[in-house]
Structure 1
Amino acid sequence: MTTASSVSRGRSGWGSTAVAVLLVAVMLFPVYWMLNVSLQPGGGGAVASPWLPLHPDVSGYAKALRDQGPHLLTSLVVSLGSVVVSLVLATPAAYALAQFRLRFTDAFLLGILVSQMVPGIVVANALYGVYSDLGLLNSLPGLVLADSSTGIPFAVLVLRAFMATVPGEVVEAARVDGAGELRTFWSVVVPMSRNALVTAGLFTFLFTWSDFLFALTLTTTDDVRPVTLGLYQYIGSYVQDWSAVMATAVLASLPAVVLLLVAQKYVAAGATAGALK
C-alpha cells in the first residue's frame, strides 16, 4: 500500500513538473524568438528565420545602437528621474499616513486607489493641454513628472503598508532619545524600509521604462523620444529588417531583466512585508 502510494505521488509530481516546464517554455518562447531573430543576418523576415542562430550576426545590434541609442538613453534618464521624484514624494507621505493618526487617512488612501482607475489616456490628454501652456512638451522634466504621476500612488501604497508594520516601540525609543520627527523618519524608519523602497523604486522604473502613452502624447519631435516610441516607429521604417527591430527589443529588455535579477530578494521581502504584522 505504502509503495503504491509513493509511486502514485511520484508520478503525480513528475506530471506536475512536466506541465510546469511546458507552460514556462510556451511563455518564454517569444523571448527566445526575439533573441533568435536579433542574431540573424539583416534583411530577413521574422517568420522565415531558422529555429536556431547557427551563424550569429550582431549587425542588427550595431544598427539598433546607432539608431536607437539616444532613445535608450532618454528612457534611462526619464526612468531614473521618475524613481527619484516618486520616492522623494511618496516616502514622507507614506510615513505620515502610517505613523500619524490623521482624520482623513482612509479617505486619502481610497482616493489613491480611485486615481489608479482613471484611464491613462484621460490623464495624458489633460497633461497635454497643461504642458502646452507651460512649455513642457518635448522635455525630459515633462516626461519625468508625467510618469511620476503613476509611480507616486503605487509607491505610497507599498511604503505605507510596510511602515505601518514598524514597531511603535522603535519610534518611541528614538523620540525618547531626543530625535525629532524628521530625524526619526530619516535615521530610523527609512533604513528599516529598505526592502519596500527598493520594491517601490523598481516597479516605478518598470512602469516608466515601458510607458508608451505619455511618450506618444507629450512628445512631438525626435529631440526627446523614449525607446518605446522609438521602437514603435522603427517597426514601421524597418519592417523588412527584423534583425535590427528585435535587437532593439532585446536591448530595451535588458535593464528590466538586470534590475529584477539584482533586486529579486529585496522585492520578495518588500512585497510581503506589509502583509505580516
Structure 2
Amino acid sequence: MRSDPVKHAHKPGPASTIIGIALLALMLFPVYWMVNASLQPAGNPLQGGWFPFHPDFSGYAIALHDQGRNLVTSFVVALGSTALSLGLATPAAYAMAHFRLRATNLLLFGTLLTQMVPGIVVANALYGAYNELGLLNSYPGLILADSTAGVPFAIIIMRSFMLGIPREIIEAARVDGAGRLRTFRSVVLPVSRNALITAGIFTFLFAWSDFLFALTLTTTDAVRPITLGVYQYIGAHASQWNAIMATSVLASVPAAVLLVVVQRYVADGVTGGAVK
C-alpha cells in the first residue's frame, strides 16, 4: 500500500513556531513602541513604562490639531492619484492584453523601464516643469506626480490578470452586438475586479506614503501631505514625543485598515494573473 504523501508532509515543529513568533515580535516591536509612546505624557518616551496603564491622549489631541489638515491633504492626493492611475492604466492594460499591437512588447518594456528610474530624477524633472506651469504647491501637481509611479504598476498588474481572461467571453459579447467600449465596461471590468482593487490599493499606498515628491514639489504650507508633516514635526516638537508618535499612528491607521479590509482581493489579484 502506498503511503499518502499529504499525511506524511513535513509539519513545522515547536522550534520553527518559536522562531517565527520571535521574528514577528521583533518586526512588530517598533509599531508597539510607537503606540505605547503615543499614550505617554509629554517628555522622553524612554521614561515611560512598557505598557500605558494610565493612557494620556493629549498627544492625539495635539496631533489632530496640528496635523489634521495634512491628513486630509494626503487623503485627497492619494484618492486622486488612485482614480487617475486606474483611469489611465485599465484601458491601456486591456489594449496590451487583447489587442494585436505590433508595439506591445516595446510598450511593456517601456512601462517596466519607468519603474527603474530613480524617484529623485523624476522629482527634479517635474520641479522645473511645474515651476513653469504653476503646479507647485497644488493638489493636481502632487496627484500627477504620484501617478507616475501608480500608472506603470497598475498596467503591469492588470495586464497580467487580463491575459487570463478567456477570449471566448469577449468574443461572445461581441457576437451579441456589444461594441468594444461596452464589452470593456460590462464584461472586462467586472471580471477584473480583484486586479482593479489590487492595483488601486497599491497606488493609494504609493501616494499615501510618498515623501520625495511632497518634499520636492511643495515649498509652502498650502499643500502639505502627512509624510512631510511628520518630518517637519519632529524638528519642531522634539520635546513632545507623544504628539509625534500619535501623528505617526494616525498616519499608519488608514493604510493598515485598508489592507486588512481588502487583503482577500489583493491576494486574488496578485496571483490571478499567474494561473490560467
TM bracket (short chain)? over 0.9
Distance 2:46 2:213 in 1: 31
Distance 1:45 1:92 in 2: 52
Paired AA for residue 84 in structure 1: A
Q: CA deviation at 1:239?
A: 1.1
Other structure's SS at 1:47 match: helix
**Corresponding residue for residue 111 of structure 2:** 112
The answer to whether 1:94 aligns with 2:93 is: yes
Q: CA deviation at 1:235?
A: 0.2
Distance 1:255 1:55 in 2: 26
**Corresponding residue for residue 32 of structure 2:** 32
**Corresponding residue for residue 156 of structure 1:** 155
**Corresponding residue for residue 18 of structure 2:** 18
Q: CA deviation at 1:141?
A: 0.5
Distance 1:191 1:158 in 2: 16
**Corresponding residue for residue 208 of structure 2:** 209
**Corresponding residue for residue 143 of structure 1:** 142
Paired AA for residue 45 in structure 2: A
Other structure's SS at 2:32 match: helix
Q: CA deviation at 1:47?
A: 2.5
**Corresponding residue for residue 171 of structure 2:** 172
Once the two structures are superposed, what CA deviation does each residue of 1:115-153 show, in whole Å capped at 9, x if it has no partner? Answer: 111110000000000000000000000000000011000
Distance 1:29 1:48 in 2: 17
- Single out whichever of 126-135 and 107-116 deviates more from structure 2: 107-116
Unaligned runs of 5+ in 1: 1-5
Runs of 4+ in 1 over 6 A off after TM superposition: none
| TM-score for both structures, normalised by structure 2 | 0.95
**Corresponding residue for residue 3 of structure 2:** none
The answer to whether 1:220 aligns with 2:212 is: no
Q: CA deviation at 1:77?
A: 0.3
**Corresponding residue for residue 263 of structure 1:** 262
**Corresponding residue for residue 46 of structure 2:** 47
**Corresponding residue for residue 3 of structure 1:** none
Distance 1:91 1:125 in 2: 28
Distance 2:162 2:238 in 1: 49
| TM-score for both structures, normalised by structure 1 | 0.95
Unaligned runs of 5+ in 2: 1-6
Distance 1:34 1:18 in 2: 24
Distance 1:46 1:194 in 2: 45
Distance 2:128 2:273 in 1: 38
Once the two structures are superposed, what CA deviation does each residue of 1:193-246 show, in whole Å capped at 9, x if it has no partner? Answer: 000000000000000000000000000000100000000000000111100000
Paired AA for residue 124 in structure 1: A
Distance 2:189 2:73 in 1: 30
Distance 2:109 2:47 in 1: 51
Paired AA for residue 227 in structure 2: T
Aligned residues: 268
Other structure's SS at 2:143 match: helix
Paired AA for residue 36 in structure 1: N
Distance 2:175 2:45 in 1: 66
User: How many percent of aligned residue pairs carry the same amino acid?
Assistant: 66
Q: CA deviation at 1:48?
A: 2.5
What is the Cα-based RMSD across aligned positions, in Å? 1.2
Once the two structures are superposed, what CA deviation does each residue of 1:57-106 show, in whole Å capped at 9, x if it has no partner? Answer: 00000000000000000000000000000000000000000000110111
